[in-house]
A and B are shown apart, each in its own frame.
Chain A
């Protein structure tokens, strides 16, 4: 009631969280303070772009040049551009189906086959994990969709914003300044029908963001008017669910992004159009002889082509993926055993030639123990173009009492460029690694406790050793696709850190969360030590919301993070620094028409302090957004 968080949605979140803890499809998650973004937080934060959800992932070290396309480093390794193209990336899952978003270390999240309005919750996994049999050595963003009540339904959201700092009447005086453009519109709509045994949701998602910030435009001296003035995405989507002989989910989408894209390792923008097409099915069959069979299959492609501009275009290519997997789970006495296998085929088409890399992976997992003490062990074998690698994860969960739990976990995993497709990033730029053997070894301890039924607290500590991480070269200018035989510089280091998260539970007048995360390089090679400051070490995020009267909510959010330093991004390979961020947001929401319509007024960066997420990135002033969200029936 308090948050537009229906019973259906609550049940779904509870199931998702239960699944995180128990299901064989996600047999191995390390000890960590879970970051769960629920629908209420999505609404009160005013997030109508999927990339904005990353703001809620405290400690994920997010960077962005234009505010449209984001990178993140959950383990605080150097950001794309400081790390080489083709290094491992965090993964994205929608309803446990793997979906592709990576492009040169950036994530094109608006092209996902799901609209923001369909999303019920997002779980950020920041430690190495195996999800549905898929190894995710740098963590994952797990998106869960909502299921509407039976009957036909429609949802429509429109948001428009503006950044302060226009010249106003001073444009005609000596106090003139550059004009700042609008933010948005950001809009998404869904139309669908839900029956007891099936539901279908047809959606479309649109975003537009100007790239006329003076810092961005200053990178195109003399021809700034000839490069795209905005980044635009549009993505029609189709999602279906069938409950017959089990549960089956279809996700399909076509997404297009047009505009400038900074290719991190080249430190140069490209004017391009990316078109991504995806179709995926997944699900689980009804239990047969106490055995549950799960399956997934997907095809995905992305086509990157030039938009007319004076910028030399060098990264045109097409990348395709086909994948299929199957797994089975069965209980044997006090233990549950799961095992599965999957195959991946990546194809790169560039400059008239094609290349293919395939991989197979097999996993097995066992969960044993009781309510007080449980043990989960998982092993994964990946057979790719560079041979076979073995990953292992194990965790022990101790329920100290009914509201307190302790988890101790350890994992060792490799990068898997033939599974996440990151080898294509390096191949397109003509800078492929001679060895792909980065290894992540982590130990973590997590403690969770629920206090008085209204507050949950989680604390974790982590130590992670990363071996043979590849660092970026000095930029090759102009960008060429000529292969370079010299090896990339590799570095190793050990990170240590932890986090604490407090979160309100239930549906009281007051809701909120407070999260602090710290991750820093404890020891390591000097080259890694130099570049690791491109990811902030400390981040604090807090949000407090209240519903003082019926159908009216006020929210305040604070976000504080370290400044960053980017060696090599300045002229003559100098280090560019980005100031620390201290940001306060505030929003007011009013539900109208018996909760069919929600109007929200959101202010971001109320302190009007410097806010940048990349050395080449736009400077964001105080800004406001006005949005309306219609849900029929409510």
Chain B
């Protein structure tokens, strides 16, 4: 059993580019976990599946994200919001707000350009602009899971630009599929000591 477990650890380590061992410490080329904090802001554009698009049309929204290196890849907290307007004004509009926890694996491509692939999970809140229904029913949250990919280019030492594409499944009774493309700028700073201590 121990040989099998050790082999599995070695295989996982090799796959992820980590050094084997109890703590699986990252190689020196990889930034230390939680060593820096990157804040991304930008615009986002949703594309809904054909079923939802018969009823709603999304407007351009915005995205705010904070990401930090993890022992393995990087972690990000993402918030996105856009207004979905009713096609033909038949139904109440709603604000769609996504709060996501994402994990991504970065790869340096060339120069200051890097790519990231990952997955995310979180919730999408539907805030219905409906004053006729009970106030408690005007907001509804549902589970979201999906995958994402992005390209990031370093502009200055701490400033970067990014373009990101996401695909999400919203686990409603009638599932909703959302594709999003976002673009914006990012600012990277060393993680404040108190926050770094907390995350560890």
- Chain B nearest Cβ from A627, distance in angstroms: 14
- B174 to A177, Cβ gap below 8 A? yes
Bound together, the chains give a CA A455 to CA B141 distance in angstroms of 43
Do residues A510 and B140 form an inter-chain contact, with CB atoms below 8 A? no
What is the CB-to-nearest-CB distance from A171 to chain B, in angstroms, rounded to a whole number? Answer: 8
Interface size of B by CB at 8 A reads 42
B172 contacts the other chain (Cβ, under 8 Å)?
A: yes
**Taking the nearest CB of chain A, how far is it from the CB of B124, in angstroms?**
8
**Interchain CA distance A453-B3 in the complex, whole Å:** 12
A-B pairs with the 4 shortest C-beta distances?
A164-B171, A549-B71, A177-B173, A168-B172
* B173 engages A452 (CB within 8 Å): no
Secondary structure at the B interface, as helix, strand, loop or mixed, is mixed
Question: Contact at B55–A173, with CB atoms within 8 Å?
Answer: yes
What are some 25 contacts across the A-B interface (CB < 8 A)? A162-B143, A165-B173, A166-B141, A167-B173, A168-B126, A168-B140, A168-B173, A169-B55, A169-B84, A169-B126, A172-B90, A173-B91, A175-B173, A179-B140, A451-B1, A452-B2, A455-B1, A548-B24, A549-B70, A549-B71, A549-B72, A550-B71, A594-B200, A603-B121, A623-B143
Task: Verify B9–A509 contact, CB threshold 8 A.
Answer: yes
Number of interface residues of A (CB under 8 A): 37
Chain B residues lying within 8 Å of A549, measured Cβ to Cβ, are 23-24, 33, 70-72
A483-526, CB under 8 A of B: which get 1 and which 0?
Answer: 00000000000000000000000001110000000000000000
Within 8 Å CB of B172, what residues of A? 164-168, 170
B71 & A624 in contact (Cβ 8 Å cutoff): no
- Nearest CB on A from B6, distance (A): 9
Contact (Cβ within 8 A) A622 B143: yes
Residues of B within 8 A of A548 (CB): 12, 16, 24, 72
Q: Is B56 an interface residue (CB 8 A)?
A: yes
Q: Are B94 and A169 in contact (CB under 8 A)?
A: yes
Chain B residue contacts of A608, Cβ below 8 A:
171
Partner of A172, one of B71, B92, B121, B170: B92
> In this assembly, does A593 line the interface, its C-beta being within 8 Å of a C-beta of chain B?
yes
- A286 in contact (CB, < 8 A): no
In this complex, what residue of A is CB-closest to B170?
Answer: A168
Q: Is A552 on the interface with B (CB-CB < 8 A)?
A: yes
B52 surroundings in chain A (CB, below 8 A): 169
Task: Check if B173 sits within 8 Å of A170, measured CB to CB.
Answer: yes
- A-B CB pair tally, cutoff 8 Å: 103
The one of A168, A592, A601 in contact with B200, judged by C-beta atoms closer than 8 angstroms, is A592
Q: Which of B22, B92, B143 has the most CB of A within 10 A?
A: B143
Chain B: which residue is nearest A550 at the CB level? B23
Distance in angstroms between the alpha carbons of A177 and B94 in the assembled complex: 18
* A354 CB within 8 Å of chain B: no
A454 within 8 A of B: yes
A594–B1 contact, CB under 8 A?
no
> Is A551 an interface position by the 8 A CB rule?
yes
Whole-angstrom distance between the Cβ of A286 and the nearest chain B Cβ: 42
Which residues of B53-97 have CB atoms within 8 Å of chain A's CB atoms?
55-56, 70-72, 84, 90-92, 94
Instruction: Provide the bound-state CA to CA distance between A165 and B143, in Å.
Output: 9
Q: By the criterion CB–CB under 8 Å, are B2 and A165 in contact?
A: no
Q: A173 contacts which chain B residues (CB < 8 A)?
A: 55, 91
CB-based contact A164/B12 at 8 Å: no
| Beta-carbon nearest neighbor of A509 in chain B | B9
Interface membership of B156, Cβ < 8 A: no
Q: Contact: A166 with B198, CB < 8 Å?
A: no
**Is A162 a contact partner of B142 (Cβ separation < 8 A)?**
yes
* Residue B199 CB within 8 A of the other chain: yes
Contact with B along A451-488 (1 / 0, CB 8 A): 11111000000000000000000000000000000000
Query: Per-position contact with A for B174-185: 1 when CB-CB < 8 Å, else 0?
Result: 101000000000
- Distance in angstroms between the alpha carbons of A301 and B174 in the assembled complex: 48
User: Quick one: which of B93-134 are within 8 Å of A by CB?
Assistant: 94, 101, 121, 123, 126, 128
**Residues of the A chain whose Cβ atoms lie less than 8 Å from the Cβ of B135:** none
Q: When the two chains form their complex, are residues A454 and B1 in contact, meaning their CB atoms are under 8 A apart?
A: yes
Asked if B197 contacts A593 (CB within 8 A), the reply is yes
A161 CB to closest chain B CB, in angstroms? 10
B5 lies within 8 A of chain A by Cβ: yes
User: Taking the complex as formed, is B8 at the interface, i.e. its CB lies under 8 A from any CB of chain A?
Assistant: yes
Contact: A454 with B91, CB < 8 Å?
A: no
Q: Closest residue to B51 on the A side, CB-wise?
A: A175
A592 touches B176 (CB 8 A): no
Q: Nearest A residue to B176 by beta-carbon distance?
A: A168
Are B22 and A509 within 8 A (Cβ)? yes
In the complex, A162 Cα to B94 Cα: how many Å? 20
The verdict on A452 contacting B55 (CB below 8 Å), with A162-B142, A166-B140 known, is no
Can you add 10 more A-B contacts, CB < 8 Å, to A170-B174, A452-B1, A622-B143? Answer: A165-B173, A167-B140, A169-B91, A169-B176, A454-B1, A510-B8, A548-B24, A592-B198, A594-B200, A621-B171
Q: How far is the CA of A173 from the CA of B173 in the complex (A)?
A: 13
Known A167-B173, A168-B174, A173-B55; contact A601-B101, beta-carbon cutoff 8 A? yes
Interface members, chain A 562-603 (any B CB < 8 Å): 592-594, 601, 603
Within the complex, what minimum Cβ distance (angstroms) separates A205 from chain B? Answer: 26
Q: Which residues of A contact B29 (CB under 8 A)?
A: none
Residues of chain B lying within 8 A (CB to CB) of residue A454: 1-2, 5
Q: CB within 8 Å of B: which of A108-166? A: 162, 164-166
Across the interface, name the chain B residue whose C-beta is closest to A593: B198
Give Cα distance in the complex from A593 to B91, angstroms: 47
A-chain residues with CB within 8 Å of residue B171 when the two chains form the complex = 164-165, 608, 621-622
